[in-house]
Structure 1
Amino acid sequence: MTSTASTPSTAPDPATSADATPVDAAQRRVLTVLVASQVLSGAGLAAGITVGALLAQQMLGSAGLAGLPSALFTAGSAIAAIAVSRVSAARGRRPGLALGYATGAVGSAGVIAAAVADSPVLLFAALLVYGAGTATNLQARYAGADLAAPTHRARAVSTVLVATTLGGIAGPNLAAPTGDLAAVLGIPRLAGPFLLAGVAYAAAAAVLAIGLRPDPLLLARERAGAAGADAAGRADAAQEPAAGIRRGVLLGTSVMVLTQVVMVAVMTMTPVHMHDMGHGTAASGLVIAIHIGAMYLPSPLTGRLVDRYGRTALATASGLTLLAAGVLAALAPGGSVPLLALALALLGLGWNFGLVAGTAIITDAVPLATRARTQGMVDVAIAVSGAAGGLASGAVVDLAGYPVLALGGGLLALAVLPAVVLTARGGPAAAH
């Protein structure tokens, strides 16, 4: 029996039917538009990562709550994931993704207003709204897989992810210049990157609203209905009951949740740790840029590895890579910039392994009719776990120090291994 959790479904697929050539052309257009929007949104995503914690520390005068911004915009991304997935399920990916990025632009403007007014309450509220951009950035990867052939799904996901690299690397390195621009405009320097975020998210929304035609999810459903793929999918589900789907969803969610909580916790407090060690914004921006590059740049290779060697093999690799990242970050003497850069690169790489593998597992396991809603709920779990990691990270550093946080995160990532083993024992649906 085919593995629903780790290998592509054997049900007829819209991208592999007789007239696949029009679908191939549509898929190429979809990926081109998604790549353009992800380049823009990557810059917006990087702004909050780079200076969010520092802005909160400056406004609150304490590092104890410096992890709160990450927790808030990650919690906001959980709320937005529900909204984006529901709009996508009802009306297609195009309106869902465009709405999500537009909301992120509004949140960016709110953060700037909060910094000018020196209002922590407004800052926290705006960060919740800003989180919509994070949710949409992740949801876009599913749009890349809607029309992809099952054997190329991970590669399609990775193509969308890698596009975030350009904006993600540029964003942190523009922290200092945008801070200078903010100062000229009479805005606190640390709010400067949110000027970039607002423009970037608004531009990404416009690109999607105008260019994402045909809508990949709607076209996939239309073709699936015409080919009778839904009926075939139901027949397949009868042979391998809902338990197989549940195992796939459980494994994919577990992998992505664990990698997200570890990545967010360590990443959030690294700029604060570097600041405490005497390093400036430019140094922390460089480290975060390397980290974001490692999160997305390896995606094409990761996608090929996932498609070739299996979903669970790369899920296991994610846990081991995150452990190495945590150990290295914990042992880096005096906040060494080169060692922290390497640790954060490994942190991003481990997250990338987990996200691409987990996304492929979920997409393989869930029928097309319910795919968008299930993907949205999975991303809610990812966002909530990230919020918990971000919120806890400041308290852990305040009480025990950054090395304890980094090492603890690495050890937590090893929970991916028993998750893979336990799910595999559930039956063939989890094997491979």
Structure 2
Amino acid sequence: MTGQGERMPRRGLALTVLIVNQLLAGAGVATGMALAAILTADLTDTVAMGGLAQSSSVLGAAIVAIPLARLAVRAGRHVALATGYALAFGGAVLVVAAATSGMPVLVFLGLAAFGAASAAGLQARFAGTEVAAPGFEARSMSLVLWATTIGSVAGPLLSESGDEFGQALGLPPLVGPFVFSAVAFALSALLVGTLLRTPRAGHLAVDPSAPAPDEPSARPDVGDPAVALDASLDASLDTSPDASPDASPGVQPDASPAKVGAWAALTVALRNPRALVAFLAIVCSHTVMVGVMVMTPLHMTEHGLSISLVGVVLSIHILGMYGASPLMGWLSDRIGSERVIALGAALLISATVIGILAPVDSLLVLMPFALGLLGLGWSAGLIGGSTLLTTSVDEPLRVPLQGATDASMNIAAAASAALSGVVLGVGGFAGVNVVAIFVLVPLAIAGLRARVLARSAAA
């Protein structure tokens, strides 16, 4: 049952709001970040400082991921999303003010707050599963991610118009796009804050069309070690004085659920083989994608390819990341999230092998193919992993675990972006891809372990 005063969200309206919101927020992020590195390099007169623009935004996203997850538990996902976009609005405004007054340090602070939009955009994918009809969770998540494609493609196209608009207002060059970003984030915060409604974690409504708890299809195999862990977790977390053995199965009580911290949730969930696979699928896929992607433009330009060709390759990469997300969501619902994760790992390995073996004189042909596969592998890993993460743990752990996972993902991405430059200098682009393959080893080990445990439980 839902808590007092809470209603089960209207799925069609909620999903539409999330999709429109992703269009706005995706455009806001891409519009500002397209020129952030150039802006910071100009302000500091140091090219190397331009690289810190992306790192500031990624670290900002990592810092706010867990607080936004806690807010989602207390007040609902819509409140957390609105707060994230409001923070990003403040960050965009700070960038404009700091760049106008010539204060580079505050620009980095503004970019860190700007990263809250990325954190909110990632958490919006989980909101997609919360408003989805049973059996359509992955597809709903994938539609929310797919909407980011349009915003991400439209954002850089708006950068030049934003710059012209800003200079017409008397702002310095390259600052105007952040005005557009601020407007987009303000609209996003207003949209989700007023129109989106999601129940608080622990009070999600039970759909009457879902199988009854006593039906075999609704009850997992009691021999599954993950189920055993979740059952013990239920007992340890059930601190409600109203809890009793006679409570109706499958119906959440109206009492507030036990509060679980993000890192505590992660610690418990990583003892669950399926949750561990989900966590590693998200973190490893994102780490590999970022590590290879950020070095690709430098690798291509060092071998004589133009910036316009680099832009084409990155557009193909983004299309693979977001454009194919509905397919990955459909596959997750049809064949299972574990198989989609395996598909994602295979695609990422294929992309990195091409990066290792690609001859210099074939970069123009092979790099679009490699970066396209890299984007597809990321999409499969993120959607398959996010779906499995949502279904592999009980309700008290779900939202805190999602926040901890997103924070871990962004921290790993920031480290990957920073270290890839060092690896490129030592081992070249092939070395970057070799390291990326080794990043996938923990995921492979965890996946094999989960399969062995599942087969043992079935036997």
TM-score by length of 2: 0.77
The alpha-carbon distance between structure 1 residues 65 and 171, as it changes in their structure 2 partners (threshold 3 A), is: same
Partners of 1:185 and 1:269 lie apart in 2 by 36
**In the TM superposition, what are the counterparts of 1:132-143 in structure 2 within 5 Å?**
132-143=116-127
Which residue in 2 is equivalent to 1:3? none
The alpha-carbon distance between structure 1 residues 120 and 200, as it changes in their structure 2 partners (threshold 3 A), is: same
Shift of 1:67: 4.1
**In the TM superposition, what are the counterparts of 1:94-109 in structure 2 within 5 Å?**
94-109=78-93
Counterpart AA for 2:316: I
User: Deviations for 1:3-37, whole angstroms, at most 9, x for unmatched residues?
Assistant: xxxxxxxxxx99xxxxxxx96x8111111110000
Partners of 2:359 and 2:180 lie apart in 1 by 32
Which residue in 1 is equivalent to 2:448? 421
Which residue in 2 is equivalent to 1:242? 229
Which residue in 1 is equivalent to 2:138? 154
The alpha-carbon distance between structure 1 residues 400 and 114, as it changes in their structure 2 partners (threshold 3 A), is: farther
Q: Given that residues 351 and 374 in structure 2 are in contact (C-alpha distance below 8 angstroms), is that contact kept between their aligned partners in structure 1? A: yes
Shift of 1:379: 1.2
Which residue in 1 is equivalent to 2:110? 126
Q: Given that residues 103 and 129 in structure 1 are in contact (C-alpha distance below 8 angstroms), is that contact kept between their aligned partners in structure 2? A: yes
The alpha-carbon distance between structure 1 residues 281 and 266, as it changes in their structure 2 partners (threshold 3 A), is: same
Which residue in 1 is equivalent to 2:95? 111
Partners of 1:127 and 1:150 lie apart in 2 by 38
Partners of 1:404 and 1:116 lie apart in 2 by 41
Which residue in 1 is equivalent to 2:69? 85
**In the TM superposition, what are the counterparts of 1:271-420 in structure 2 within 5 Å?**
271-273=297-299, 283-329=309-355, 331=358, 333=360, 339-413=366-440, 415-420=442-447
Q: Decide which moves more: 58-67 or 79-88.
A: 58-67
Which residue in 2 is equivalent to 1:211? 195
Counterpart AA for 1:122: L
Partners of 1:177 and 1:27 lie apart in 2 by 36
Counterpart AA for 1:241: A
Shift of 1:216: 2.6
**Aligned mate of 2:154, from 158, 170, 190:** 170
Shift of 1:194: 3.0
The alpha-carbon distance between structure 1 residues 269 and 190, as it changes in their structure 2 partners (threshold 3 A), is: farther
User: Deviations for 1:183-222, whole angstroms, at most 9, x for unmatched residues?
Assistant: 555555444543332222222111111211xx23349825
Q: Given that residues 97 and 205 in structure 1 are in contact (C-alpha distance below 8 angstroms), is that contact kept between their aligned partners in structure 2? A: yes
Partners of 1:196 and 1:132 lie apart in 2 by 16
Q: Secondary structure at the match of 2:280?
A: helix
Which residue in 2 is equivalent to 1:18? none
Q: Secondary structure at the match of 1:223?
A: coil
Partners of 1:406 and 1:58 lie apart in 2 by 31
Q: Decide which moves more: 94-103 or 340-349.
A: 340-349
Partners of 1:116 and 1:335 lie apart in 2 by 44
**In the TM superposition, what are the counterparts of 1:218-237 in structure 2 within 5 Å?**
218=200, 221=203, 223-224=205-206
Shift of 1:418: 2.5
Q: Given that residues 34 and 144 in structure 1 are in contact (C-alpha distance below 8 angstroms), is that contact kept between their aligned partners in structure 2? A: yes
Q: Decide which moves more: 197-206 or 83-92.
A: 197-206
Partners of 2:182 and 2:362 lie apart in 1 by 31
State how many pairs are aligned.
409
Q: Secondary structure at the match of 2:136?
A: helix
The alpha-carbon distance between structure 1 residues 170 and 273, as it changes in their structure 2 partners (threshold 3 A), is: farther
Partners of 1:110 and 1:282 lie apart in 2 by 31
Shift of 1:320: 2.1
- Alpha-carbon RMSD across the aligned residues, in angstroms, is 3.7
Q: Given that residues 173 and 285 in structure 1 are in contact (C-alpha distance below 8 angstroms), is that contact kept between their aligned partners in structure 2? A: no
User: Deviations for 1:81-101, whole angstroms, at most 9, x for unmatched residues?
Assistant: 112111111011111101101
Q: Decide which moves more: 102-111 or 220-229.
A: 220-229
Partners of 1:71 and 1:343 lie apart in 2 by 24
User: Deviations for 1:261-288, whole angstroms, at most 9, x for unmatched residues?
Assistant: 1112223344455565666665544443
Counterpart AA for 1:303: G
Counterpart AA for 1:92: G
Partners of 2:370 and 2:40 lie apart in 1 by 24
Q: Given that residues 71 and 389 in structure 1 are in contact (C-alpha distance below 8 angstroms), is that contact kept between their aligned partners in structure 2? A: no
Counterpart AA for 2:422: A
Partners of 1:315 and 1:228 lie apart in 2 by 26
Which residue in 2 is equivalent to 1:5? none
The alpha-carbon distance between structure 1 residues 399 and 190, as it changes in their structure 2 partners (threshold 3 A), is: farther
The structure with the greater share of residues assigned to helix is 1
User: Deviations for 1:135-185, whole angstroms, at most 9, x for unmatched residues?
Assistant: 000000111111334422211111111111110111133344434444555
**Aligned mate of 2:290, from 264, 284, 290:** 264
TM-score by length of 1: 0.81
The alpha-carbon distance between structure 1 residues 348 and 46, as it changes in their structure 2 partners (threshold 3 A), is: farther
